[in-house]
Amino acid sequence: MERWIAVVGCAFALLAVGLGAFGAHALEERLPPRDLEIFEVGVRYQMYHALALIGLAALLGRWPGTLGIWAGVAFAFGIVVFSGSLYLLVGTGARWWGAITPIGGTAFLVGWVLAIIHLLRAP
């Protein structure tokens, strides 16, 4: 399972680098500064949590357990919902996507809490 968590983390990191480059080169001239900032927040949090998934996979190799796996699920869900809603907000101009963003942020927090509990309970 830790291999799949690492693969998902690497895939999200790859996508974050690509989206970051796209934002810096293709969107810079097309978006208002505030929308570009919003897009960059999505990329930043996607990369943070992609790296968290890779680190989590390494931890699960040393301390396996279900809570650690659920932490990974929460991180991945958070990336899709948090960053995805910001990308959609900027890409479509539909500001209501911002109302979904906190669900992804909550998933990030849940993932970190689960990771902490997992590590505290590990033998």
pLDDT in tens, the chain (123 residues): 899 999 999 999 999 999 999 888 888 778 888 999 999 999 999 999 999 999 999 999 999 999 999 999 999 999 999 999 999 999 999 999 999 999 999 999 999 999 999 999 998
> What is the domain extent for residue 114?
2-121
Residue labelled with tokens 């932490």: 71
Domain count of the chain? 1
d(CA 61, CA 1): 9
Q: Which of 56, 48, 96 is nearest to 72 (CA)?
A: 56
Tokens found for residue 38: 């919003």
User: Do the beta carbons of residue 101 and residue 42 sit within 8 Å?
Assistant: no
Q: What's the pLDDT at 1? A: 84
- The pTM of this model reads 0.94
Residue labelled with tokens 């948090």: 82
Q: What's the pLDDT at 107? A: 98
